[in-house]
A and B are shown apart, each in its own frame.
Chain A
Amino acid sequence: MFVLFNITKLHLFSILVNMDRKKTIYVFKIIISFLLISFIADKAVYLLFNKISDDVYSGQSIGKLNQYLKTKNDFDFIVFGSSRANHHVNPNKISNNCYNMGVDGTMIAYSHSLITLLPQKKQTILLHIDPSNVFSNSYLGEDIKALKSKYNRNSIVTKNIDQLGQNNIFQKFYWSLGYNKIAIPIIKNFFKPKYDYKEYNGYDPIYVSKSQQKIFEKILNEPKETDCLETFNVNKLYNKLLDDLVMFSKKNNKELIVFSSPIYFDYCERDNIEFEKIMKEKQIRYYDFTNLFQDNNSIEFWRDRTHLSNIGAEVFSDSLALKIL
């Protein structure tokens, strides 16, 4: 340390600077020791969390991802998508060898990255896509950040995050940024797992309480502002990632099936029609369940306008299974 900080050559620099030599050395001492200590502390924290998180197989923060990475090769069917895939598709309705890898707040960039990790083996990929997202021009693949805990640990994930420009430049130096906001859930699930992952198929049904149902009824009574699209240009990233997935599926013996899950009331129908056309063009099997409950829209099927309750999810899963099998 002493050698490191004995920066005698700084004399020349301090002449230029409006500080005396001692003060210049002082600033350098602080900067260098800060960079050194924080670098070492960061790596210690990072390695500690790697060690802990590698044994965590429950919870959405990292457990589900770890389970997927460990068992992905064994499944015949895997469901990908956002919370609407996670909470709506019961894999047992499809197959005993099906896993639901839907994660809250994620979209195609996250799913794409996980799908490209799959081996060259016959598997069916069920990908949930909300048509309204496909035509959004603001989507940049931010959801891939949910994989940041694997940023410096999995070369494919690192490459995908970098390619989308969603990397935090500071994460090159501070690796522990990968555990941002998930440190506490990791520790909690390490000491007290939420469930036995060997029994877990990735499906998290939503059980709606009476008070939640009342809240939803209140929301339904409020006027809803809808702003439907008039022009339908496919988001460039969505287009690219969909094409990538088609290619990947052909090369790796996968069947890609895209589906859209029900919503309470579809105010904008044209995006579904336009999306269906695109799916046809790309020769992707697509099932649109947006209006599944149009004729039988019981309040007990719903938690909110876009999320089904466990009861609604069971009905939907049956319908999905019937179509794809």
Chain B
Amino acid sequence: MLFNSTEFLVLFVSVFILYWILRDHRHQNILLLVSSYIFYAWWDWRFLSLILISSIIDYSIGSKIYSAKTNRRKKNWLLLSLISNLGLLSFFKYYNFFVDSFTELANTFGWQPNDLTLNIILPVGISFYTFQTLSYTIDIYRGQFKPTRNFLSFCTYIALFPQLVAGPIERASNLLPQIERPRKFKKEWFNEGLLQITIGFIRKIVIADTLGVYVDTIYANTGIYNSTSLILATVFYAFQIYFDFSGYSDIAIGTAKLLGFKFNQNFNLPYFSRSLTEFWRKWHMSLSYWLRDYLYISLGGNRKGIKITYRNLMLTMLLGGLWHGSSWNFVIWGGIHGTVLCIEKLLNANSLFTSIRKIKFLGYGITFLIVLFAWIFFRAQTFNSAITAIKQIFSFSFGPPYIGNISIMVNSILVLAIGLLIDFYLKYRDINLEEVGRDYTPYKLSFIISIMVIFICLFYSTSQNFIYFQF
């Protein structure tokens, strides 16, 4: 079930009414769990079993780790959690990828193994809820969190529908306590949530989906368009993926607020970054902080010398890239980010670099160009397609760009300009979007949302899937 579907509207309105009619938070949790499973089963009910298996395994292992007497036992239980969760993820997401890669490698040595690929469907959201369940067991192992005694609460934490299929990746330490205590309806959250949901829809179905039409056309055949068209398509993609995923996060966070939950912020104007390090503090924050806390730090972080730090950084980014999808393109994307992050770390000590960074405009520009270049690998369907796109861009065949349908192009430029203007305004006035609307009167809020809804009516584009659903 997509957020931008009538089915979701019906489900959410029904859940919202029933939810606040129920007085006991435990009854509310049952409602949330049932509706979350319906939300997920709408896509494919068979994969509910995977969520349930993950929930049972990590609920049990969480308790075992906590009650284990020795560190060795704790470690063994944690290892079991890692193997089972990452095993399921690897099988469903990476099995065919590794088999294909192995076959290609074997072919280069003249050996032709049998076709071992399987017809596997990637369960929606598996990357997200796997990371959530892992955060639970790892936090317990580290002694930072006590396991819950309530299986229902734990299942609700894993499956809670606003964040089930594409995050934000909520850690148990933030969300589980909220599930286990009574929730109060807060006017401020209701205001913020409604506004954030509406803004999320504008970002997704007005801006991102409109930009996507042009991007899809150009990236469907990167070899035939000139440099200008490819640069334009890549710039459009940079904003398409930003508005798509931040829009999704806005809807998820806003929806959660209406139900009395506070999720962590996931995006904070990431393209206003003077370095890639800053970019990763603002882009998909729930993932980047997860990778930092559970992978980078687990590998030793920056505590074991400069060389190990670079290795850890690269590994984190490469695996972070692979997390996005089973393709070498994502690994290369992660590799580019990792390399630049290492270079930034290296140059950080250099006073020249520090003075360059002080020229804000230069920092913003360079960071954006690096991010833009890396997006080519992220968007292209295959490695060859990405290479062709880069070759075409650097062939410097600058001519008029491919326009296609003129009204689509005009709409794309208009909605992108509006989206950027809003972001510039938020940056200039130092406003956090998540807190907008908190103190509005009902009439002011209704008026603003009404105007936004009319804007959506006039400019929404045929809805595409959220980009991050495929991860």
Q: Which residues of A contact B98 (CB under 8 A)?
A: none
Can you list, as one digit per residue, whether each of A259-303 has a CB less than 8 Å from chain B (1) or not (0)?
Answer: 000000000000000000000000000000000000000000000
| Distance, CA A16 to CA B221, complexed state (A) | 59
Of B185, B225, B443, B457, which contacts A42 at CB under 8 A? B457
Residue of A nearest to B402 (CB): A215
Chain A 175-199 residues near chain B, CB threshold 8 A:
176-177, 179-185, 188
Residue of A nearest to B194 (CB): A30
Q: Does A174 lie within 8 Å of B187, measured CB to CB?
A: no
| Distance, CA A17 to CA B23, complexed state (A) | 7
Interface of B is mostly: helix
Can you list, as one digit per residue, whether each of B402-436 has a CB less than 8 Å from chain A (1) or not (0)?
Answer: 00011110110010000000000000000000000
| Distance, CA A179 to CA B450, complexed state (A) | 17
- A100 contacts chain B at the CB level, 8 A cutoff: no
Q: Which residues of A contact B121 (CB under 8 A)?
A: none
- B447 contacts chain A at the CB level, 8 A cutoff: yes
Of A17, A27, A176, A184, which contacts B190 at CB under 8 A? A27
- B224 contacts chain A at the CB level, 8 A cutoff: yes
Q: Which residues of A contact B454 (CB under 8 A)?
A: 38, 41-42, 45, 174, 176
Shortest CB-to-CB span from B206 to chain A, Å, is: 10
| Distance, CA A174 to CA B458, complexed state (A) | 10
Residue of B nearest to A29 (CB): B442
- A250 contacts chain B at the CB level, 8 A cutoff: no
Q: Does B21 lie within 8 Å of A176, measured CB to CB?
A: no
Q: Does B450 lie within 8 Å of A34, measured CB to CB?
A: yes
| Distance, CA A228 to CA B410, complexed state (A) | 36
- A163 contacts chain B at the CB level, 8 A cutoff: no
Q: Does B185 lie within 8 Å of A179, measured CB to CB?
A: no
Chain B 128-179 residues near chain A, CB threshold 8 A:
none
Of A17, A174, A183, A222, which contacts B21 at CB under 8 A? A17
| Distance, CA A308 to CA B314, complexed state (A) | 52
| Distance, CA A24 to CA B212, complexed state (A) | 40
Chain B 427-463 residues near chain A, CB threshold 8 A:
442-443, 445-447, 449-451, 453-454, 457-461
| Distance, CA A27 to CA B453, complexed state (A) | 18
Given contact pairs A18-B21, A34-B449, A61-B407, A181 touches B224 in the complex (Cβ within 8 A): no
Q: Does B20 lie within 8 Å of A18, measured CB to CB?
A: yes
Q: Does A26 lie within 8 Å of B223, measured CB to CB?
A: no
| Distance, CA A219 to CA B402, complexed state (A) | 15
| Distance, CA A38 to CA B447, complexed state (A) | 7
Q: Does A180 lie within 8 Å of B458, measured CB to CB?
A: yes
Q: Which residues of A contact B446 (CB under 8 A)?
A: 30, 33-34, 36-38
Given contact pairs A180-B458, A184-B411, A211-B399, A104 touches B405 in the complex (Cβ within 8 A): yes
Q: Does B458 lie within 8 Å of A45, measured CB to CB?
A: yes
- B83 contacts chain A at the CB level, 8 A cutoff: no
- B273 contacts chain A at the CB level, 8 A cutoff: no
Q: Does A176 lie within 8 Å of B20, measured CB to CB?
A: no
Can you list, as one digit per residue, whether each of A210-232 has a CB less than 8 Å from chain B (1) or not (0)?
Answer: 01000100110010000000000
5 additional A-B pairs beyond A42-B453, A169-B6, beta carbons within 8 Å, are A41-B454, A45-B454, A45-B458, A174-B457, A179-B457
- Report which B residues bind A (CB closer than 8 A): 6, 20-23, 185, 187, 190, 194, 221, 223-226, 399, 405-408, 410-411, 414, 442-443, 445-447, 449-451, 453-454, 457-461
Give me 7 A-to-B residue pairs in the complex whose CB atoms sit less than 8 angstroms apart, sorted by A's number: A26-B190, A33-B446, A38-B446, A38-B454, A42-B453, A170-B457, A181-B460
